[in-house]
Every structure is written in structure tokens, then in C-alpha cells.
Chains A and B, each alone.
Chain A
Amino acid sequence: GESVGLHLPTLSVQEGDNSIINCAYSNSASDYFIWYKQESGKGPQFIIDIRSNMDKRQGQRVTVLLNKTVKHLSLQIAATQPGDSAVYFCAENGGDDYKLSFGAGTTVTVRA
């Protein structure tokens, strides 16, 4: 039968490899971006954020890259581990001082 609902992009990655998750945002007024990780049965968990005055920001095993010219955001995870398996959401603020708009999410599966 026909599937309904959001069609989430998926990424399958070998344990130990690096992962890159991409996100295209829509609002050129957005000046704050954030990545969340959501494991099954849990709430979204903050990973890393970036403001529009930066192109790159690094955390522990994660790096966020922002390309404002093409309105593109990416999350790089180094040495992907089984615990990284989850749905990853990007969010933008659309220039608002409080509201976040969330993308549909990318499902990451780590192969042992």
C-alpha cells in the first residue's frame, strides 16, 4: 500500500567511519541553527548549535558547518559509534528570538 507520513532520509554508516548529515534550510533570515539527536522513545537531545556569524563549530566528535550562501547546514560525526544510531534533526530560528522550525529528520543507523 501507499506509505503516508514524513519520508525521512536515512544514512547507514559503518562503525568507526565518519558520518555527514545534511540539512537545507529555507529562511534566509535565520541566524541560529541547532542539531538535535532523538533516540527511540526519548525527547530530542541537544548536540551542537551555531550562529550565523560563524561557518564552523566543533564539539566532542561533532562538527557543524554552515553555508549561508546556499542555505545549507551539515553535521559531521567522527568515528561513529553504535550509540549514535538515532534520528537527527536540524532546526532554524527564522530570525525569531525564540521559535525553532524543525526539519523532518535523518535516521542514522550504525552497522557493527
Chain B
Amino acid sequence: DAGVIQSPRHEVTEMGQEVTLRCKPISGHNSLFWYRQTMMRGLELLIYFNNNVPIDDSGMPEDRFSAKMPNASFSTLKIQPSEPRDSAVYFCASSLVQGSTDTQYFGPGTRLTVL
């Protein structure tokens, strides 16, 4: 059974470039989460989708960040323009939320380096 799939696993880009991170959640899950992990801040929730609809984007740092979920099996997190302080590991997680919190399953992450 495939877990959460993320691509690319590593991304190195230059400041000012657009970066797109991709995620395929676990089949049948109705909720998807994007997290960012840094040494300074630990794991931070960026945005949460339920049934493909963004429910909580209060963690998105600024307008340079945007996320979409066009269907139940795909989501993207885009940074435009990227900055060195965006360097971090970005995780996607999915869950089956049915009225109460349930286990979130994480992907392997994308390590982003912005030069």
C-alpha cells in the first residue's frame, strides 16, 4: 500500500525562482496537510485541505506561498519568488478526518535549498 508520495525529494534553486512541490495523498484520505520543518521552528502547519477545499491557511507565511488541491489525489505547494529563508524540508501529510482528529501520515518530504 503506497504511502504519501512527494516530489521532488530534493530541490536546489536560486533566489527569485519559482518552486513547485507536489504531493499525492494516501488513496481514500479526505484531508491533506502541508508542513514546513526547520531547526529554528520545528514542524509548522502551513495549510490544511479537507475534501480538496482549503480550510485553514493561517500558517502560510506570506503571499509568496500558495497551495492548490485540484482533485483528491494531487496537491501542489508553490513558492514564487523563492527566498533563501524558505530553505527547509516541506512535508505533505494526509488523514481520514471523520469528525475527530485522526492519524496524519507523512510523506518523505522535499528538501528545498534556495541559494
Which residue numbers of A lie inside 8 Å of B, CB to CB? 4-6, 31-32, 34, 36, 42-46, 49, 89, 93, 96-100, 102-105
Name the residue in A5, A43, A102 with the highest tally of chain B Cβ atoms < 10 Å from its Cβ: A43
Contact B43–A6 (Cβ < 8 Å): no
Give A6's nearest chain B residue, CB to CB. Answer: B42
A97 touches B40 (CB 8 A): no
Known: A6-B41, A34-B104, A98-B95. 10 other contacts (CB 8 A): A4-B40, A5-B38, A43-B91, A43-B106, A44-B43, A45-B106, A46-B104, A49-B103, A100-B45, A102-B43
Q: Is A46 a contact of B108 with CB atoms below 8 Å? A: no
Whether A98 touches B108, Cβ cut-off 8 Å, given contacts A34-B103, A44-B91, is: no
Query: Which residues of chain B have a CB within 8 Å of any CB of chain A?
Result: 4, 31, 38-43, 45, 48, 50, 55-56, 91, 93, 95, 97, 99-109
Query: Which residues on the A side are within 8 Å of B97 (C-beta)?
Result: 97-98
> Contacts of A4 on B, CB cut-off 8 Å?
39-40
Taking a contact as CB atoms under 8 Å apart, the answer to whether A98 and B101 are in contact is yes
Residues of B contacting A46 with CB < 8 Å? 103-105
Chain A facing B: main interface SS: loop
The interface residues of chain B lying within 8 Å CB-to-CB of A32 are: 100-102
Q: Is the CB of A43 within 8 A of B107?
A: yes
Chain B positions within 8 Å of A6 at CB level: 39-42
Asked if B101 contacts A97 (CB within 8 A), the reply is yes
Which residues of chain A have C-beta atoms less than 8 A from B43's C-beta?
A: 44, 89, 102
A31 to B103, CA, bound (A): 13
Closest CB of chain B to A10's CB: distance in Å?
A: 15
Instruction: Output the nearest chain A residue to B3 by Cβ-Cβ distance.
Output: A43
Query: B38 to chain A: which residues have CB within 8 Å?
Result: 5
In the complex, how many angstroms separate the beta carbon of A47 from the nearest chain B beta carbon?
Answer: 10
Chain B residues closer than 8 Å to A43, beta-carbon distance: 4, 91, 93, 106-109
Pick the most buried of B43, B102, B103, B108: most chain A CB atoms within 10 A of its CB. Answer: B43
Residues A96 and B101 in contact, CB atoms below 8 Å apart = yes
